[in-house]
Amino acid sequence: MSAVLVTGADGFVGRTLNAALLASGHQVRAASRRGQPLAGCESVAIGDIAAEVDWRPALAGIDTVVHLAARAHVLRDADADPLASYRRVNVTASGNLARAAASAGVKRLVFLSSIKVNGERTLAAPFTEADPPRPIDAYGRSKQEAEALLRDVATMTGLETVIVRAPLVYGPGVRANFLRLLGLVERGLPLPLAAIANRRSMIFVGNLADALTRCVEHPHAAGETFLVADGEDLSTPDLVRLVAAEMGVKARLFACPPGLLRLAATLLGKGEEAARLMDSLTLDPSHIHARLAWRPPLSVREGIAATVRWYRARPR
pLDDT at 17 over 90: yes
- Overall domain count for the chain: 1
Work out the percent of the chain whose per-residue pLDDT is above 70.
97
302 within some domain: no
Q: What is the average per-residue pLDDT within 280-292? A: 98
pLDDT band at 77 (very low <50, low <70, confident <90, very high): low
Q: What pLDDT is attached to residue 275?
A: 87
Instruction: Give percent above pLDDT 90 in the chain.
Output: 84
- Report whether pLDDT(76) > 60: no
- How does residue 71 score in pLDDT terms, banded at 50, 70 and 90? confident
Instruction: Give the per-residue pLDDT at 75.
Output: 54
For residue 83, is pLDDT > 90?
no
Instruction: Tell me the pLDDT band of 133, cut-offs 50, 70 and 90.
Output: very high
The answer to whether position 123 is within a domain reads yes
For residue 73, count other CB atoms closer than 10 A to its CB.
17
Chain centroid offset of residue 23 CA:
21
Task: Indicate whether 94 belongs to any domain.
Answer: yes
Record the pTM.
0.95
In a domain, 134, yes or no: yes
Model confidence at 38: pLDDT above 60 = yes
What is the CATH number for 55?
3.40.50.720
Give 222-250 pLDDT, tens digit per residue: 999 999 999 999 999 999 999 999 999 99
For residue 89, give its domain range.
Answer: 3-174+202-230+281-297
pLDDT band at residue 59 under the 50/70/90 scheme? very high
Query: Residue 180 falls within a domain, yes or no?
Result: no
C-alpha dist (Å) from residue 30 to 47, 101, 131, 225? 13, 15, 34, 24
Asked whether residue 203 carries a pLDDT value surpassing 90, the answer given is yes
Whether the predicted pLDDT of 296 surpasses 90 = yes
Residues in the chain: 316
Q: Please report whether residue 291 resides in a domain.
A: yes
Q: Among residues 86, 139, 170, 311, which one is catalytic?
A: 139
Question: What does pLDDT average to over the chain?
Answer: 94
CA atoms within 13 A on the CB side of 190: 4
**255, part of any domain:** no
* Residue 23: predicted pLDDT: 97
> Which of 75-89, 142-156, 197-211 has the weakest average pLDDT?
75-89
User: Which stretches of 75-213 are assigned E, i.e. beta strand?
Assistant: 108-114, 160-166, 168-170, 202-204
Q: Is 139 a catalytic residue?
A: yes
